Structure 1
Amino acid sequence: MYREKATLVFDIETIPDISKAKKLYGLTSLSDAEAYEALQNMRRQETGGSDFFRHHLHKIVCISVVLRLGDSVRVWSLGEENASESEMIKRFFTAIDKYDLCLVSWNGSSFDLPVLHYRAMLHELTAPMYWELGDHYKEYRYNNYINRYHMRHIDLMDILSLYQARAAQPLDQMASFLGFPGKLGMDGSQVYGAYQAGRLADIRHYCETDVLNTWLIYLRFQLLRGELMKPQYQQEITLLKHHLASSQKPHLLQFLAVWQEQEVETNE
């Protein structure tokens, strides 16, 4: 089976699944706001301080991607703004079925992919090529998406820290450190509030800038590995700049403007 090779950088944004959590913890008599506060308190007791919900109770509200395919690169969010969680996840795994993808993420092994696993099961979805381990295609036995040390999924945070949690760095800091824009518009802690305020477009725009930062770090990583030589690296940078400039989307143009300003400061 021939599938065209491509690279897909991905990132998800989530909100607490209050409806499911209320049922699991017997809080159905409470309002969503009351339940959220109670669930946060329960989680802090469980963890010793963190109110970060368990992975299966993160409802996905956005999946943004950068796709490098053939002679093109593009960034967008899967599905329409009002797309259901099920549709977004289905589109993500369908892309893996369609293309021979190298997946790239920042902290995807610890968060994004486990959340996608649990939520895909909730919606009774299938993802055969993602879960292929060599039973049907032998080449996947030695390079698949599941094995931590294989390269079909490259978790940049994981691999750059040599799988040491104490050496791991936040995406925003790493992007800024390398001269890229970093986070624009909001951060992950503000997503739930933005969702409650109906600001889905802002969430999608924020997520898209995150995958752009991740793509730029990936290109620098490929340069480090020798998979890209300096002229090829510069060609990739130019290709992305052209895409951003021609997009006419304010958040992408802002990303490009901040990036170019930082390049000027670096060269001064």
Structure 2
Amino acid sequence: MHHDTLLCLDIETMPDRQILPADWPAEKFPPPHCHQIVAISFVEAAIDRSSGVERYRVTECRSGGDLDYDEERLIRGFWKHFARTLPRVVTWNGRGFDLPVLRLRAMVYGVPVPAWFQTGDKWNGYTQRYQPDFNCDLMEQVADYGASQRIGLQDIADLIGLPGKIGGHGSEVADMMARGELEKVRAYCESDVLTLYAAYVRWALLTGRTDPAGHNASVDSLVECLVRERADRPHLGTFLDLWQASTRPAPMHVPIPRPALVAEPPHLPSEHVL
């Protein structure tokens, strides 16, 4: 199955106080079933294979739903969009957290998600851990499924010159929500998916899914989106400015090798011409 859409996805949550035990230690991260979703953010891009390798053309970067959406409406909207597009899903630790939470909260509201479980076959599908063309947990890919030490999204951002988190941290979401700062939560979540998309493009270059020209075109597509949206959504402009100011070796574009020159055949004297 060839996917036409790339979906770089992140969620923000806070504890479900009806489920989380009252004596749960404040410093301990709750298990997935004890979270409720407050924001679902994504970068969506069309996958173009016309050049022989993949290129990604960003169509939007946003958070799902409006500010007045409750959790059930967010969940239903996400899974409806997923079933309609059947995208290649990209996350950071999504197999360990984001996707289990999205599925468990669908169970809470009785939302069927057959497209997740029934698309593909025995070897190729969203439920297959070792099939990154359907469901790419980039954290697992970078760590070779745990053969190497797993790192955080901010670590990969620092490594390749991305701004990373802007305007908050996941541990602050509950307090931000208590203060009525949902817009701030959504902006913070969007900074994570911007980082995720750019990191995925660099990983796609590393693994041969794209080439240097495709990498740079995919980055430029995101930049165009950020420039277009920055007036109405200043956090996107902040991300872009910090990214462009990075001093890392190749924070945005990578070198494109020049084509090798083809040597002309040696000139032979006329007596050697057949």
TM-score by length of 1: 0.83
Could you say which residue in structure 1 is the equivalent of 2:126?
145
Q: 2:91 maps to which residue?
A: 105
* 4+ runs deviating over 6 angstroms: none
Q: Deviation string for 1:199-257 (max 9, x for gaps)?
A: 00000000000011000110001001111110111111111101101102100000000
The residue identity in structure 2 corresponding to 1:230 is: P
> Is the CA contact 1:3–1:98 (under 8 Å) kept in the aligned structure 2?
no
Paired residues, what number?
238
**Which structure has the bigger radius of gyration?**
2
Match in the other structure for 1:206: 188
Tell me how far 1:128 sits from its aligned partner.
1.3
Cα RMSD after superposing both structures: 2.0
> 1:74 corresponds to which residue?
60
Q: Which has the higher helix share?
A: 1
2-structure distance, mates of 1:18, 1:72: 37
Partner of 1:62: 39
Q: Which runs of 5+ in 1 are unaligned?
A: 26-34, 42-49, 134-138
Give the Cα separation in 1 of the matches to 2:150 and 2:2: 34
Cα deviation per residue 1:100-153 (whole Å; 9 max; x = unaligned)? 3100000000011111111110010011111115xxxxx433211111111200
Task: Give matches, 1:113-152, under 5 Å.
Answer: 113-132=99-118, 139-151=120-132, 152=134
8 Å Cα contact 1:219/1:233 also seen in 2: yes
Q: 1:90 corresponds to which letter in structure 2?
A: R
Which residue of structure 2 aligns with residue 47 of structure 1?
none
Preserved CA contact (<8 Å) 2:154 2:164? yes
Q: For residues 12 and 233 of structure 1, what CA distance do their matches in structure 2 show?
A: 26
1:145–1:153 contact (8 Å) kept in structure 2: yes
Question: Within the alignment, does 1:12 sit opposite 2:11 as a pair?
Answer: yes
Q: Among 234, 237, 260, which residue is 1:253 paired with?
A: 237
For 1:218 and 1:101, locate their aligned partners in 2 and report how far apart those are by CA, in whole Å. 15
CA deviations over 1:51-104 (Å, ceiling 9, x no partner): 211211101000101100265431100001121111111222112211131000
Structure-2 change in CA distance of 1:3 and 1:233 (3 Å):
closer
Stretches of structure 2 that go unaligned for 5 or more consecutive residues are 48-56, 251-274
